[in-house]
Amino acid sequence: MNPKRRWSRSGTGALSGALIVALAGCGSSSKTTTIAPPPPDPSQLYFSPTMGDVYASTYAIDNTANTFVRTVYGFDGSPANGGTVTDSGVVSTLPNGIVSLGIEYNENVSGVKTTYNPPLTGSWAVELPGQAALIGMTDYSSFTPAVPTGACPSLTIATTFQFVTIPNRFSPNEASVAANNWSPSLETAFGSVEVKTTGAAVNFSNVSQKTLPTNGAPAGAPANPGPASVSAVCAPTFYGSTIGVPGSVIVINPGSNQSVPPTATVGIGPSGFLVEDAGFSQVQGQPYENVLGAGYGAIGLPKPSAALDTPTVAAAQYQGFLYGSGGPVNTTQSGPGFSRIASFGYTDLTASCPSLPTPSTGTVLYGGEFAGNDPSSHASGNCDLAIDLGTQDSGSSGLYPAATVYVTAGFPNNGIDKPYTFPAVAVAGQIDGKYAIFLIGADTTGLPMQAWGIYLLQSH
């Protein structure tokens, strides 16, 4: 962690709890629906959860004026003190559709203010304007999802969402959970939830949380459970119109086996992009965050109303981010994570994808990172990774519980200089008529051992 960029994680959830009261849940029969989005707002506020060494933030991206502003909450120790503008600058769209965020102003935690002329380059966004965004800033160490929060969701019929955890540092065993790491054998990796709104009241019901496949076992073992149902409220906050989950329900902390109240802040965009900031609860030094995802929270989208045509999903072109959470601290596997902008579906296998499987099944996507983490001079990235989605779950459209990630020796964060694979779980569906794929995996072969996230939005 870079201490220059460290802000206090003084509860996103605690802020939410201060603004809301628990509301009674609304029972109804579940039905999967498609959410029709309104026209995009050219100046859109996005909420960004805690990620890496930067805490809950907002982004205002104006695609008409071509400007952006990032505001961080908790900069001086408490979100209640308001936000601090840490970055602002200009927006430009590259020929490949990736958005360049040029920093003209920056302030760090020490209060040092810097201006750049010309703008500082190296920050990127993949955006469906007004619907969803994935952002990587050059002045901090991780990507972040960003969900529009211009209005509260209106889901008068219970709508099913599928999600994956956004992991923090990887913990291969239970003992490391105390170090605020994510454990794939104990904690939530993926799941589903039904969401229904009645006015400002929001009911999360039928919460299902499952672990990753480990030690040869298939995915789907129940995780240490959070609450099956949670009542919350959507209201104006510093982050826009977000859903606050109060600390009024109990989960079991796997590190200490004690009961802790969960808190979270959730944003749901107009076409169903879901992002959760997991909040923070702690008992006797044992951190555990779990309302939907574990780790930093969750990223998800509406469950498709029917089974996806997997070859069509795999044949689309995508842009997004590759994310490595970093290895566990104080072990021989300790190491930094990574965040790289990437593309999939642009490259030809025979010409540029070494050591990867042949595309015989129609379930494989080929791609990789942009050289130098810079997409400004290339239409597409390298081809040194592949994702085999595998078989779609027969009972959950858009869920791929037996995916495989192939890492070539040429991938910059390989760590062992030879090709290898690791198992993963992916959820797929559509946001504003575009395919999206979100994946989580536990890499125990590369160096360091770490959790992976791959987050892709179909290109314009």
* pLDDT averaged over 10-residue windows placed end to end, the chain, 460 residues: 32 37 35 48 79 82 92 71 87 95 90 94 95 91 90 95 92 54 82 95 92 62 67 89 74 55 85 88 50 90 97 95 84 80 82 67 89 90 92 95 93 92 96 97 91 94
Q: Which of 170, 141, 179 is nearest to 4 (CA)?
A: 141
Distance in angstroms (rounded) separating the CA atoms of residues 372 and 23 = 49
Q: Which pLDDT score is estimated for 5?
A: 33
pLDDT at 77: 59
Q: Alpha helix locations (H) across 264-388? A: 310-315, 349-352
Residue 422 CB neighbours (<10 A): 19
Give SS3 for 452: strand
The C-alpha atoms of residue 135 and residue 340 are separated, in whole angstroms, by: 10
Q: Tokens representing 263?
A: 């808190």
pLDDT of residue 357: 66
Vertex 336 angle, CA 331 and 337, to 5°? 120
What is the rounded distance in angstroms from the CA atom of residue 203 to the CA atom of residue 25?
Answer: 5
| Predicted pLDDT of residue 326 | 87
Element (H, E) at 312: helix 310-315
Positive or negative, the CA dihedral 59, 88, 379, 54 is negative
* Distances 78 to 178, 298, 340 between C-alpha atoms, Å: 24, 23, 30
Distance, CA of 380 to CA of 359 (rounded, Å):
19
Predicted TM-score (pTM) of the model is 0.87
Between CA 230 and CA 265 the distance in angstroms is 13
User: Quick one: pLDDT at residue 30?
Assistant: 40
Instruction: Give the phi and the psi of residue 75 in degrees, each rounded to 5.
Output: -55, -40
Token pair belonging to 324:
């490595």
- Nearest partner of 438 among 425, 451, 422, 449, judged by Cα: 425
Query: Which tokens in the block code for residue 337?
Result: 């994570």
Confirm if 285 and 154 have CB atoms less than 8 A apart: no
CB 277 within 8 A of CB 251: no
